[in-house]
Amino acid sequence: MEEMMRQALGEYFGYDSFRPGQEQVISAILSGRDVLTVMPTGGGKSICYQLPAVMADGITLVISPLISLMQDQVRSLIQTGIRAAYLNSTLTPAQQSLALRRASQGAYQIIYVAPERLSLPSFRAFAQRAPIVFITVDEAHCISQWGHDFRPSYLEIADFLACLPRRPVVAAFTATATEAVRRDIVRSLALRSPEVFVSGFDRPNLYFETQEPKNRDQAVLDAIARFPERSGIVYCLTRKKVEELCDILGQNGVQATRYHAGLSPEERRNNQEDFLYDRKRVMVATNAFGMGIDKPNVGFVIHCGLPSNPESYYQEAGRAGRDGAPAQCILLFLRRDIQVNRYFIENKGEENAGLTPEQLAAQQQADTRRLQQMVDYATTPRCLRQSLLSYFGEKAPGQCGNCSNCLNGQAPEDMTALGREIVLCVAELAREGRAFGMLALVSILTGTAGDTLYWLHPEHLDCYGKCAAIPPRKLKQAVQAMTDQGFLARSAGEKQVLELTLKATELVSGKEHLLLKPRTRKKPLPRPAVSDAPPDAALFDRLRETRAALAKRDGVPAFMVFSDAVLKEMCRLLPRSREELMQVKGVGTHKANRYGEVFLRVLNQR
């Protein structure tokens, strides 16, 4: 079996070895086990179900949330020699019945469908007759109400499975799932004693950076200017900002296009293709863009605004560097982003129609907690990679050497002692039944509240004037950092006073430290190592031109012919024959047949 798997991997995808986790998942599926696989974006999930699909005797159904992307996914499979099709509302009724008829005749190995389709009588009738042996549920976290991306239509999957005469093997895939979401997936899909695979979340080729810039638009321009040759995505929180920033980029000579839910479906499709086909270098988008986009050569993902939770952030940022080449994930954060996100959380009503008030409250609480974690990431002076990985429950060393905090060169300032004084002060006020905002707190600690808070007789407090020797600016920074890092929380309601959190006790006990991110950077950040330049730039350019011509001929994006990584590998190995070409990672039998001769001609001319 292992041998056959390896052979199919080479034949269809041109790879000679599996990535961590892939082999185990595929073996489990082929031996008839249900599986739940948690793998980070860019980790290589697709092959985990595409390979069993081509090896299985029968039809594989892939349930995927976004119909706008199915066409690309299917096109890409056809490029690798796999018979695939999709069924969704973008097809005319005539096309749909033709596809179903061909599917019944065994024309396809893989069929992509959206979950809404599963309850259509015509589709059910087909599914009950067809030899469906394997079902993949992509983005499976969408089934969980407690997740960050709930889609009610996913709840119909279990019912669909139950209506099939023979239950196929079911494999669920997701890039983000906490323990609770994982349990939800297993239960809601009614998986049968599934094997659960959770692969490591680290993506070593990604560099992480956070900034709180003075002028954010300029910071976006500066960040893009670091990558003159590469394409990338800029995420914004609102449609309005997408429009504005896309214009600004255009005025500054950056070829940019845009994507958000307010555009017509045609324009969305066109803009998405402009980006996929490298006609536009930068995509400016809301989070509506990207799920299922597997453009491998995305060199950077910039967030112009704070995402609502670390799950979304890691998923969006993870769209950089799928090809394994060094890539950057930059978060440009401003304090007002927190308010915008709070507003989103409070006004999620539409999506959550049908939830009871208790469920709604629980969900808002979970959302608020996740937002706090995101603020923590944006402001932490600790290693950013470690911060993300530990959120996903993974241990990581304290220094990764490939994030802006590790490369900063300045050690964070330890303000634990000051933090303790602040905790004691807030606790003392709470015992008196009082709570205040940042400014009042600072004036009590510095002993300057005599006029403004005279009615409180603050001089009777133990903490009054306790920090008189410390500049108020420093105290404000400390209080701010304590809020960012979750030692203090703003109370709900209008007054927004500061309260202690459970974590605050760990500051007093010494389990946690209050570290302050160095605010100024003397030197610009060292550029992270980017050492994957091809050995022969001229040859690389000629190969790229060849690829562009073939892509145009076949009407597919360039990366579907071969990725940049494959072309670079060609420059290194300089294959002269078909056999040698097949040694290049990423060249499978099908693509060697289809494109080998043309590329060999270029390589042999060298």
The contact set with Zn ion (CB under 5 A) reads 383, 385, 400, 403, 406
As measured in angstroms, the least distance from the Cβ of 486 to Zn ion is 20
Q: Judged by CB under 6 A, does residue 513 bind ligand ADP?
A: no
- The pair phi, psi for residue 386, each rounded to 5°, is -60, -40
Q: Judged by CB under 6 A, does residue 299 bind ligand ADP?
A: no
Q: Among residues 6, 10, 19, 120, which is the contact residue for ligand ADP, using CB under 6 A?
A: 19
As measured in angstroms, the least distance from the Cβ of 22 to ligand ADP is 6
Q: Judged by CB under 6 A, does residue 42 bind ligand ADP?
A: yes
Shorter beta-carbon distance to ligand ADP: residue 103 or 543: 543
Q: Judged by CB under 6 A, does residue 293 bind ligand ADP?
A: no
Shorter beta-carbon distance to ligand ADP: residue 117 or 322: 322
- CA torsion, ordered 86, 88, 93, 97, to nearest 10 deg: 40
As measured in angstroms, the least distance from the Cβ of 380 to Zn ion is 10
Q: Judged by CB under 6 A, does residue 52 bind ligand ADP?
A: no
Q: Among residues 316, 323, 337, 484, which is the contact residue for ligand ADP, using CB under 6 A?
A: 323
As measured in angstroms, the least distance from the Cβ of 14 to ligand ADP is 9
Shorter beta-carbon distance to ligand ADP: residue 138 or 337: 138
Distance of CA 308 to the CA centre of its chain: 12
Q: Among residues 12, 18, 392, 562, which is the contact residue for ligand ADP, using CB under 6 A?
A: 18
Q: Nearest Cα to 352, choosing from 158, 146, 188?
A: 146
Contact 223, 73 (CB under 8 A): no
The span from the CA of 313 to the CA of 306, in Å, is 9
Token pair belonging to 67 = 């119909």
Neighbouring residues of 21: CB distance < 8 A, sequence distance ≥ 6: 37, 39, 43, 44, 48, 197, 199
Shorter beta-carbon distance to ligand ADP: residue 458 or 575: 575
Token pair belonging to 267 = 């324009």
Q: Among residues 12, 34, 46, 258, which is the contact residue for ligand ADP, using CB under 6 A?
A: 46
Q: Judged by CB under 6 A, does residue 47 bind ligand ADP?
A: yes
Q: Judged by CB under 6 A, does residue 43 bind ligand ADP?
A: yes
Number of residues that bind ligand ADP (CB under 6 A): 16
Shorter beta-carbon distance to Zn ion: residue 82 or 378: 378
> Of 24-32, 34-42, 303-311, 569-577, which segment contacts ligand ADP by CB under 6 A?
34-42
Tabulate helix, strand, coil % of the chain (nearest 5): 50, 15, 40
Grouping H, G, I as helix, E, B as strand and the rest as coil, residue 117 is: helix
Contact 407, 469 (CB under 8 A): no
Contact 191, 268 (CB under 8 A): no
What count of Cα atoms within 13 Å lies in the side-chain half-sphere of residue 314? 29
Contact 307, 313 (CB under 8 A): yes
As measured in angstroms, the least distance from the Cβ of 212 to Zn ion is 18
The span from the CA of 444 to the CA of 430, in Å, is 14
What residues make contact with ligand ADP under the rule CB under 6 A? 15, 18-19, 22, 39, 41-47, 294, 296, 322-323
